[in-house]
Structure 1
Amino acid sequence: MSCKYIYSHVVRLLNESDTMYIEFKDAMFGRPKSIRLLREDILRFMEMREIGARQILVYMGHLYQDLKKKDKADYFSFVDPGNIPTCLIGTDGRDLSQHIADQLEAVSRDSICLIPYNTGYHWILTIVNEDKNMIYLLDSTSNRNRDDTWKTIVTKCTMPRRVFLKGHVLKY
């Protein structure tokens, strides 16, 4: 289905109060998860405006379904972006590091973990690959406007729990 068709459908047929209910499989986050996607959420995405956690969840759900079809879903785990605060808790991010560590604790150690994070103005993707002792930070803005706070938080949260990651390398 083309994007133009979806966009015209949303504009013409959905009212401001209409929502789309989306359920995610238990295996994706280790627990049931559902969201209501608003008309405005769809329009934001289609008009290439700033998107939020609900739109990222739809992306993640699509990726999970695609991996499932290819029998590769067991190799990946996902952290729900709705469970990650978008601002620091505490003065040095220690509380947020612990929060992320708790999220990582819930996922399989044998999988590649995908963690979307909103820096407040921009989404980045963190990939924790324990097999290679690597943490990848994928940031489409490259080095522009880099805020190393997230890098510090991820480093703090992986080191105590995953001792074998102590020699980790952050890749950009």
Structure 2
Amino acid sequence: MYFEDEAGFTRRPPRGRTWGRRGRTPVVTVSGRRSGLLSVAGLIAVRPGARTRLCHRLITHPAGKGQRRSMGERDFIALIDGVHQLVKAPIVLVWDRLNTHVSRTMDELIAQRTWLTVFLLPAYSPDFNPVEWVWAHVKRSLANLAVMALDRLEALVRNRLKRLQYRPDTLDGFIAGTGLSLDIPTSP
């Protein structure tokens, strides 16, 4: 079973708590220019008898009018195809109702893959998706960090995600945080 979600990162840092001298509010200086967006799609893979895995795909979107500022259907399918080649097993995918996930193009791409079964989460239910916890964890680690270039932000996000890949216990905690029971039913 695989849970999928996507997130966007910009050079503007997420807000976080910090220490400062009494009476002096800490200030993080950030350039006001638009400099593009970093889109990230992530999958948490849960398999019986195997460790929990995190797979991800990053795409940089440069600033500019008329430029796409999010991942498209082909980007999501490329991630799923890559994971399928890695695990060499059928995939049961659970994801939200993002417009690119429920589009006609995506339906056609899914229909071409007999090894792929897709389930949609209920509307407005991010609490059921453990990948949301991954984004919260990564953004918390980037709080109050002003990045000057988009490629530096990409390196930082890639580094944080790579660290999580080697912490299956943390990924298991994200799954437990959803309250979902992923036990395999046993027959009496």
Larger RCO (alpha carbons 8 Å, 6+ apart): 2
In proportion to residue count, which structure has more helix? 1
Q: Rg: which structure is higher?
A: 2
TM-score class, shorter-chain normalisation, is: under 0.3
| TM-score calculated relative to the size of structure 2 | 0.25
